Amino acid sequence: MLRNAGIEVTTGVLEEEGRRSLAGYLTRQTKNRPYVTLKLAVSADGMIGREGAGQVAITGPQARAQVQALRAETDAILVGIGTAISDDPLLTVRTPGLEAQSPVRIVLDPLLALPLTSKLVQTAREVPVIVVASEEVSLLRADAEGLPPSALPGISPTSGRAEEGVPPTDVGIQTRGTALEAAGVEIVYCSPYHPDVLLPALATRGISSLLIEGGAKTAKLFLEADLVDRIQLYQSPIVIGDGGIESPLQATDIPSGFAHRGTYMFGADRLDEYEREN
């Protein structure tokens, strides 16, 4: 139309940059799912944490500040229930002036084991929290039947701490679900361990970009489903040593179909970024 009117038209200007800046919107419109970024911080000996140690600072303050900026530009952030219990993370943006840009926080929690005393639940009315539970749990809630109160042996559903003996069984699934909802948590019943089902459900809630931050199993889940669009791999010079949790991904085994987009240094930490080519 413009050319027919005698106006000179140039196409393709900064096309790649434009597609990257609109990646979330375009992915939701064309694939009916959010654009998925996997962020991993890996030690020099290939670990992402230490068993039983909770949160372990692998990268330095400059790299962590960059991750805060990434959170601020992301619609939602996702972790598994193991990470939610062991690390008790807040998953908000803590950069001064950007706190209001904290993403929606999502936990894959098939049996509603998220502790009521966790930071996530305690702040659910300030920054939204979505718990993704199994559809079978929805049926059990409807029948008001009970289940063991934790998806993880030895973990209390109310304190989040490992306790001696068998986990308490006096808190049923109905009570736990009601308590989470009363605290402001949204419960979505949608196959937490089937990303191909979960991601479209998140897209219907307006989520265009999703950051995977939580745990080796969760990272592996999305990698094996071939539903990761971008990988941000931080590599630190520190050594975890004995008891380390092995990373599901190293720089030497990036999946095929990803292109290396750049290397960036944040203090002593190196960030390699990869993007899906198609």
pLDDT of res. 181: 96
Domain range for 63 = 26-276
| Residue 78 domain flag | yes
Q: What is the pTM of this model?
A: 0.83
Residue 2 tokens read as 């413009």
CA 57 to chain centre: 18
Q: Is 5 part of a structural domain of the chain?
A: no
Residues 168 and 206: their CA atoms lie apart, in Å, by 38
Assigned domain for 176 exists? yes
138 part of a folded domain: yes
pLDDT band at 13 (very low <50, low <70, confident <90, very high): low
Q: What is the CATH number of the domain that holds 149?
A: 3.40.430.10
Number of domains in the chain: 1
Model confidence at 17, pLDDT cuts 50, 70, 90, reads low
**Comparison of pLDDT for 170 and 47, the residue scoring more:** 47
Choice among 53-57, 192-196, 226-230 with the minimum mean pLDDT: 53-57
| Model pLDDT, residue 8 | 81
Cβ of 245: how many Cβ atoms within 10 Å? 20
Q: Tell me: pLDDT of 160 over 80.
A: no
Whether residue 172 is contained in a domain is answered as: yes
* 3 lies in some domain: no
Residue 94 belongs to a domain:
yes
Q: CA angle, 118 as apex, 154 and 204 as ends, to 5°?
A: 110
250 is a domain residue: yes
